[in-house]
Structures are given as C-alpha cells and as structure tokens.
Amino acid sequence: MNDMPEKLAPMCELIDEVKALADIPEDQWTGAIAEGKWSPQEIIGHIMLWDKHFLEHAIRPMAAKEPMDMPKVELDEFNREAAAYARSQGRQELIDQTVHWREQIIGELKRIPEEEYATEYSTGSGKLSVDEYLADFYWHDRHHMNQIHHYIANGHK
C-alpha cells in the first residue's frame, strides 16, 4: 500500500497556511504574538530557514543515498539569525521563499522510496529516519502555526 501521499500531506499543509498570511494586516504580520515572542513574520522566517537547512544537510543527502552533512548548530544563534533575516525580507518574498524550500523538501522526499522511510541515517551526532523527520517537523509546523492562528483569531491588531 502506498502511504506516501498520506505521509507527505502534513508537509504540504504549511504551504497553504503560509500563503494565507499574505492577507493579514501588516501590524499583525510584524507584531509579536505575545510579550517577548516572535511575530508571524519571524516565525515564518524561522520555519523557512530550518527547511532550507534540513533540505541541504539531511533531505538531499538521504534522497541521493549519500552521508548526511549535519553541521553542529547553536540553536539560539540560528533562531536569532532567522528572525533577523525574516525582518529584512518583504512579506511576499519571505512567503515565496518558504513555499519554495518546502516544495523542494517535498520533491526530494518523493524521490526516496517509501520502504526506506524507516531507515535510519547517520547525522554525525545521532541517527535520523525520514519518518522521524516528518513527525518532528509536522509537530514543529503545527506548534508555530497554532501560535499564529491563535494570535490572529484573538483579534490582535
């Protein structure tokens, strides 16, 4: 049975959600979702740069059956840089970049035979399978998109 479309559907959900953010008011796009928290703009930049990072260092190597090149990342620094990058981009440009990198990931994941999704690949400091990646990033997407949806739904203007 081919479960690949079902496994990849959650990765696709983010695309429409991010595109919908083109229509929110500018003050919601750039306003912090809560005191001391990021704005939707910064959250999307964070998601986009993590997608780009994992595509380049994990997903493409997995699809090519090559060793992963997972450099050690200092999380706080990476996230600060992602937020700053997001603030430097126009809204539509950031949305387009996010969609681009997510579509690239989906395309690469489709190249990997589904029967290999449970195969664990060495990351240098541990192991990662496609199934684990999908579960982790689906949780990550949902966490951040729920934050944004809650912020918008509660009338933050």
| Distance (Å, whole) CA 144 – CA 136 | 13
- The pTM of this model reads 0.92
Per the structure block, which two tokens stand in for 84?
Answer: 């700053």
Domains and CATH numbers, the chain: 4-16+34-153 (1.20.120.450)
What is the tens place of the pLDDT at every residue in 80-112?
A: 999 999 999 999 999 999 999 999 999 999 999
